[in-house]
Amino acid sequence: MVFSSLEFIFIFLPVFMIAYAASKKEYRNFVVLAGSIFAGYRLFHTLGYTKPWQIALFAFAVLFYFWKANSTSRIEYQNLIIFTGSVIFYSFGVQKPVYIFLFLLTTLLNFIVGQFIENSRHAKKAWLFFGVLFNFWWLIFFKYWSFGTENINHLFHQNLTVKDIILPIGISFYTFQNVSYIADVFKGKAKAEKSLINYGAYISMFPQLIAGPIVTYDHVAKELKNRRHSMQKVEDGLKTFTIGLGYKVLIANQIGGLWSDISMIGYESISSKLAWLGIFAYSFQLYFDFCGYSLMAIGLGKIMGFDLPRNFDHPYLSLTMTEFWRRWHMTLGTWFKDYIYIPLGGNRKGTSAMIRNTFIVWLFTGLWHGASWNFVLWGLVLFVIIMTEKQWTGKVLNKIKPLGHAYMFLVIPLTWLIFAITDFHELGIYFKRLLPFLPQKTYAVLDKDYIKYWGIYWKYFLAGFIFSTTLPQKLYKKMKNSPFTAIILLAVFWASVYCMYRGLDDPFMYFRF
């Protein structure tokens, strides 16, 4: 289930919010009982569990939830609904039912490890090491095991079995949140959470569970125990959600059609001008897809009383790649800075140490996005570009803004091309298409093919360009509470719903990372 789906908008979200808003205990009892039965039915139906002890275990869980609904405060009840509802939400998207148990196991174990780290006098480092090892073991196994085995077979001429391992959705994100939690408890930055329900609500919170933003525990610790709800927050949340939905459905999905068309045609058969249109289309698609998801997540968080962190700050207005990565996927950049770069020494131990630490961060950044050599190359290319800017070109690019914008106009799509195409042979063909003066084995079937596609997609390029700037945000802030803005957002919402009804929708691109 994704946010930009009719099932989520018209079934899951209304049901969840009704349950979440229930205040009287008798309403809570009904909600918890009905939700537990539904969750159990779905789980047992999927797994085929029918043994008496399994049914008894489920009955015990229902009674436990029923008791919690009666014995907890309203905020604890809401956290219970978040935890339960988010697990149900996750179950609709997970590829294998056993991955639900893996998610619950990692949540429980990190909750326990956090307690041991805080209460232990002499074994804090040992518990931290165990927790980090446990979390990253699962990420390495599911995300990199096949990749590593294939490369060992190739390098050492072995014949090790390569298992077709399906990556659990969201594992990269919830692994980072679990690790940041136990690390913060170890450093004394956060107190260990005493309630498993609260910790489960933090990790599983469905707005950010699948694709971020990456939320550290200290960012929401107070809100987990005491948060204020208001109609103003609900209204702001709905507006933010609608803007994100429009970004995803009306811009990203539509302009992404050009990249899909080019992939179907074949890179060998397109002209140089269409190749450039293609990588600009992919750049806009990736931005509005991920930024749209982040805005929807932030909007849903506001409706529930949480202030989730911003994840994008108009990155395509940057003058350097260094600035770009301070504005793009900001929570991921902050995570790498706080939990890898700074612990390694940051820039405190001289230039050579800074270069080494930056190299490690970008190597991990590339690998985090995918188990493929193109992501490793992508991370190393970004490392070289950023180091070049820090040592030589950055000052000039920041000083002469037109030069900086022109530079980024070329660098952004070229680096995204390495990100987009996993096959090096196909990547080489596309680069040759971009630079027609290089030797070509084949030539475009139609040299003026770009005219046809520009005629189809120009309006989406225009929308992408406008909404990449700060102008729409400035206008929105000035007119946020006007009837005109409400009408525009209603139009965006129903236009998005119409596109989803017509099947003009795609899964979020970052789900696979």
The residues carrying an active-site annotation are 369
Identify the CA nearest to 472 among candidates 239, 178, 169: 239
Dihedral sign computed on CA atoms, order 269, 271, 275, 281: negative
Place of tokens 């103003």: 232
Identify the CA nearest to 433 among candidates 272, 279, 258, 277: 272
- Report whether 497 contacts 6 (CB < 8 A): yes
Tokens of 354: 């800074």
- Report whether 277 contacts 310 (CB < 8 A): no
Identify the CA nearest to 419 among candidates 430, 409, 405: 430
CB proximity list for 226: less than 8 A, separation 6 or greater: 75
**Torsion, CA 299, CA 302, CA 304, CA 305, rounded to 10:** 170
Half-sphere exposure of 437 (CA within 13 A, CB side): 0
Dihedral sign computed on CA atoms, order 116, 99, 215, 239: negative
Measured CA to CA, the distance from residue 101 to residue 107 in angstroms comes to 10
Tokens of 246: 């429009």
